[in-house]
Amino acid sequence: MIKEIPEHFHVILPHAYSQLFSAVNWDNEWKLARTICLNKSDNPVPTTNQLRPISMLPVFSKVYEKLFLLRFNRWTIKMNILPDQQSGARPHQQQHHGLIVYYRKLLNLSVIIHLLQ
């Protein structure tokens, strides 16, 4: 949908989103989803079990959320807030990375316990 917007709005949108970030604005209308039902059958009058409900969120709120996530990730990296073991909601980090770190710690602990005995 964003691609369908006239080109002169392409200059306005980044400025508008920056103002929204500055004001820490998240309108209630952006949280509302519109539910539409798609017919799964060829029947012109489908029964309820032949309908597929689809929840449609406003496009601008999806863009705002994505932009916020990008900014938030950049900020957490810049401020070095998250430990290396934290893998959730981080780009290029897989969940098994944290497991490997803890496994190595357990391995080292077991070696120390064995040496102390």
User: What's the chain's Rg over C-alpha atoms?
Assistant: 24
Residues 6+ apart with CB under 8 A from 114: none
Using the structure block, give the residue that is written with the tokens 């938030």: 72
Lookup: tokens for 106: 């357990």
CA 99 to chain centre: 22
Mean pLDDT, residues 71-97 taken together: 75
pLDDT digits (tens, 9 = 90+) for 31-59: 788 898 999 988 888 888 889 998 887 77
Domain boundaries, the chain: 2-81, 84-117
Lookup: tokens for 7: 């080109």
Kindly report the average pLDDT of the chain as a whole number.
Answer: 80
User: Which residue type occupies 68?
Assistant: F
Mean pLDDT, residues 57-63 taken together: 80
Lookup: tokens for 45: 């009058």
